[in-house]
Amino acid sequence: MDTEYDVIVIGGGAAGENAADRAVKGGLTAAIVERSLLGGACSYWACEPSKALLRPGTALSAARRVPGAREAVTGSLDLRAVLAHRDEASSNWDDSSQVEWAEGAGIALIRGTARLTGAKRLWVTGDDGDHFALTARHAVVLATGSVPSLPKIPGLAGIHPWTTPDATSAQEVPESLAVIGAGVAGAELAQAFARLGSKVTVLARGTFLSAFPEDARRLVAEGLRADGVEILEGVSPERADLTDDGAARLTLPGGRELVAERVLVAAGRRAALDGLGLPAFGIEPPSLKVDESGRVQGLSWLYAVGDCSGGPKLTHQGKYQARITGDAIVARARGELGGAAPAPWSRWARTADVLAVPHVVFTDPEVASVGLTEEDAWEAGIRVRPVELPISVAGAWQHAEDYEGWAQFLVDEDTRTLVGACFAGPDVAELLHAATIAIAGEVPLERLWHATPAFPTVSEVWLRFLEAYGL
């Protein structure tokens, strides 16, 4: 094994793979140090398995909304088949195909745990227990991802709660499930397990799906309640205990007790930066800060991408960051990019991290948003005008007999461009990329007027938005 590479990436998830791949495509050598499965959480314990658990229920529900198809649906979900589908989506927790990809891409894979010992220097403990040093000629990239956050609830550890990786890899479905946390992961997994047969209760410390507009939250909450999910807002457990028969008992404010076979904690995630030796470089996790190219402030040779870098904790955004950072490292190695921050929207700047981050909640109905919220826009000094309307077009009626959807568009009144959008309803994720392009491209509304949506599609909501705006 070589001990020196141009670029060394710590962490082999989706972001780490992309950073190494861009470095190699730019003519540099690269190695990934990974202590678990190559491909990371998204491939095995997050995005892929959770969507595989959700999709069968969504497909069945969609069929029941269409006359003719509704009459043909006579059964319910096949639990064993759903779990087998999830196992396949997770590659049965076998990373051999990812290892084969890395070898084909010219990326060296080193199994082990890395710690920074100096500028561009690492100390690695291999899976076999051996210790050895590695050196990077140009850059080290942190791509260590994130780990679930556990709230400080007395007794919580004693009931052995699930975190999201436990839920997405579960081989059995509990009769009852209490979900602590009402963000994206909590909402998605609550509906998935409800449709697989669990009696589910969601506990929201604040508001259910609080990051999204009220109309979007309402539609999703109605969808979950239709599946039998109980949603309790403004509720946080005061204590957790085991019952005599091994179930979990949560003591809620006011003395109410909630007993469930399993408790799932989906209360957010924190950057996985422990054990990397960062304090020796003046960095106290989780205070990691990076510039537009992903370079850690104060260290010209250290970069960070993905969940650990302090930006949006989304797989697609981590991959975007990694492409930007990989290209920036190559450019600096060639002398094409200096030490100054690159210009916004250039090949080496992560501008979309602030202005055009797409989010999807893959519940049924879905929520899809991109760009700024109305509050964010005003705080940024943008004179924004919101345009809100129901998704009530011919394509929606064709999509489902009882289709109910909602859309919000945020227009910068000074530039007459879109700066934010949010959609709620069945399959609205497919509307999102058009909004992402409009925001990233700063397309004037007068030009969008010429982008004619096909009839009859749900995308006709774009025409209704422009008409409502006054074009």
Known binding residues for NAD(+) are: 181-188, 268
Q: 437-459 burial, b for 16+ CB within 10 Å, e for fewer? A: ebbbeebebeebeeeebeeebbb
How far is it, in rounded angstroms, from Cα 39 to Cα 417?
A: 37
- Phi/psi region, residue 142 (left: phi>0; alpha: psi -120 to 50; beta: rest), is beta
How many residues are listed for the chain in this entry?
471
DSSP label at residue 39: B
Q: How many CB atoms lie under 10 A from the CB of residue 430?
A: 14
Tokens 């730019």, residue located: 26
Specify the amino acid at residue 241: D
Q: If residue 123 lies in a helix (H) or strand (E), which one and from where to where?
A: strand 121-126
Q: How many CB atoms lie under 10 A from the CB of residue 433?
A: 12
For the record, the structure tokens of 250 come out as 């949560």
Binding site as annotated, residues: 51, 144-146, 181-188, 268, 307
Nearest to 108 by CA among 186, 226, 5: 5
Contacts of 128 (CB under 8 A, 6+ apart): none
For the record, the structure tokens of 471 come out as 């074009």
How far is it, in rounded angstroms, from Cα 280 to Cα 125?
A: 19
How far is it, in rounded angstroms, from Cα 376 to Cα 28?
A: 39
Contacts of 157 (CB under 8 A, 6+ apart): 150
140, 150, 175, 305 from 31: Cα distances, Å: 10, 32, 45, 15
207, 287, 325, 426 from 273: Cα distances, Å: 29, 10, 19, 38
Binding site as annotated, residues for FAD: 51, 144-146, 307
Q: Is 402 exposed, middle or buried (0-12, 13-18, 19+ CB in 10 A)?
A: exposed
How far is it, in rounded angstroms, from Cα 12 to Cα 10?
A: 7
Terminal Cα-to-Cα distance of the chain (whole angstroms): 64
How far is it, in rounded angstroms, from Cα 52 to Cα 43?
A: 11
How far is it, in rounded angstroms, from Cα 304 to Cα 11?
A: 10
Cβ contact 31:20 at 8 Å = yes
Cβ contact 400:406 at 8 Å = no
